[in-house]
Amino acid sequence: MFNQNHLSNIAARREQISRIVVTAQQMRDIEGRIFAAGMPVAALMEKVAGLITHRILELYPRSQAPCVGILVGPGHNGGDALVVARELHFQGYQIAVCSPFSKLKDLTSQHAQYVKNLKIPVHESLEPLAECDLFIDGLFGFGLGRSLFSPVDQIVNQLNEWSQPVVSIDLPSGLHTDTGEVLGTAVQATQTFCLGLWKLGLLQDQALDYVGAAELIDFDIPLADIQAILETPKIQRITPESAIATLPLQRSPVTHKYKQGHLLLICGSRRYTGGAILTGLGARASGVGMLSIAVPESIKPLLSAQLPEALIVGCPETESGAIAQLQLPEKTDLSSFEAIACGPGLTVDAKPIVQEVLDSDRPLVLDADGLNILVQLDTIPSLQHRQAPTVLTPHAGEFKRLFPDTPDPTKDRITAVLAAAEQSSAVVLLKGARTAIAQADCVWINPESTPALARGGSGDVLTGLLGGLIAQATSKDLPLPEIVATAAWWHSQAGILAADERTEMGVDAFTLTQYLMFVVNRFSDFNS
């Protein structure tokens, strides 16, 4: 029993650690506590380097990469790299070191001297390492704040021109720890071993061309030291465990459709029928109990054919084919629904419709033309006075129009989405390769996605899925931001799964809807 409980506690800690994201200053403060408590820097370096070496042995066995080049910086990141060099040498690898710095920190200098005593060749330039099969980048760790300088920038550029795989320690040298900005130039890594806790820059879109496949090297930071600095983590990665835990999967044996949420979609136009269909298919996959879809009367038959289980509400339309006014069934109004999702395919001619749902007391998701109309109405400040939560789901272009006074989301999406959430009092989901969701001063980041989702209609599917989950969550008292985070994770995992089976080019939005339920089946063991 003791062993089982102990193993459960270890697994729970690792799951908690895997969610936490830190800035450079927070990581300095946490490490400062560890060292102040008596952990020798040298002992921690040995432990970290041992874990890195173990992963390299697994990923790049000596039979595949017999010669390894080690790039060494002046600080402790360089020290980590030198310990890895030593350990790989003892495992029979042929090692060569590139160390372009004349002055090293004391501990790093000691390791450099020992490497030389082991007769491992050390060079100031990269050229003598050209025949290496693998490179370990230990030039700079977290906290780099200035552009790479000569000759380091030339070494990095030369490394990037070669085709050998590169493993970066903590983060690719040349990336800003917090924003992911390229500081002049940066190593284009094949793998990044992030040390201890996830660094914020690795989860910024602009860093992704440099990070490669990222994984966390957990070196057992005590939770008490993390909590002393972060208290409640304000930036978190979405994990499969956290996403599945939030899904409303458990149902009473005696439940019925009206207890599983009723969602109203308001979408589509004569010009953009597909947007309404895809949004409806996304909502269907959410498992929502009842689905009503308000569309222009002329496209009602097309929706009925694709979604026979939904109640399709045909509405009067404008000359351009947009919804002119909502015409809900008798004895039904907007308060009859647990949630409303509005926007895909709507066109900006449906401006009165968006104003009507903004005035309602229902949780509301606005996407696509719903956001475009919101810009025209210039009502972002009024969202603070809505009687129910609002979720906005812009891509970067829509975000800039909605929130012109916030930081550029293409340069620092975390700061930008936090500012947008503060301005609007809404839950803001900023789409991207690393979708970020913010409410108040908290951010959730989706750490995985696929370029396969860069297809027209993918966002419509997300809107329907999200609306359906919110409708179910309303009756189950589940926290809204976490439901939004779960929807983003579920959507991206469906894209990843579909791309694995069909290639990235083969994942159209309709195909994406078919893979949504496979995701829940694949990860259902996390909920058992």
Binding-site residue set = 76-80, 137, 141-147, 170, 173, 345, 395, 431-435, 459-460
pTM for this prediction: 0.94
pLDDT for 253: 80
pLDDT of res. 381 = 84
Compute CA distances 294 → 125, 341, 344, whole Å. Answer: 66, 10, 12
Indicate the annotated binding residues for K(+): 77, 137, 173
Rounded CA-CA distance 420/425 in Å is 8
Q: Are strands 436-439 and 427-430 parallel, antiparallel or unpaired?
A: antiparallel
List the beta bridge partners of residue 430.
Answer: 436
DSSP state of 323: B
- The per-residue b/e assignment along 341-374, b for 16 or more CB within 10 angstroms, e otherwise, is bbbbbbbebbbebbebbbebebbbbbbbbbbbbb
Ranges of each domain in the chain: 2-233, 254-434+451-479
The residue assigned the tokens 């050209």 is 130
Report the pLDDT value the prediction gives residue 196, as an integer from 0 to 100.
Answer: 97
CATH topology of domain 2-233: Rossmann fold (3.40.50)
> Which residue(s) pair with 199 in the sheet?
22
The burial class, CB within 10 Å (0-12 / 13-18 / 19+), for 439 is buried
Q: What CA–CA distance (Å, rounded) separates 371 from 343?
A: 7
CA-based max dimension of the chain = 87
Is 439 strand, coil or helix? strand
**Annotated binding-site ranges for (6S)-NADPHX:** 76-80, 141-147, 170, 345, 395, 460
What pLDDT is recorded for position 8?
74
CATH superfamily of this structure's domain 254-434+451-479: Ribokinase (3.40.1190.20)
What is the distance, to the nearest Å, from the Cα of residue 9 to the centroid of all Cα atoms in its chain? 26
Mean pLDDT in consecutive groups of 10 residues from the start of the chain, 528 residues: 69 91 97 97 97 98 98 98 98 98 96 98 97 98 93 97 98 97 98 98 97 97 94 88 82 74 97 97 96 98 97 97 95 95 97 97 97 93 91 97 95 95 96 96 96 96 98 84 96 97 93 92 63
Binding residues for AMP: 431-435, 459
> ∠ at Cα 389 (474, 361), nearest 5°?
80
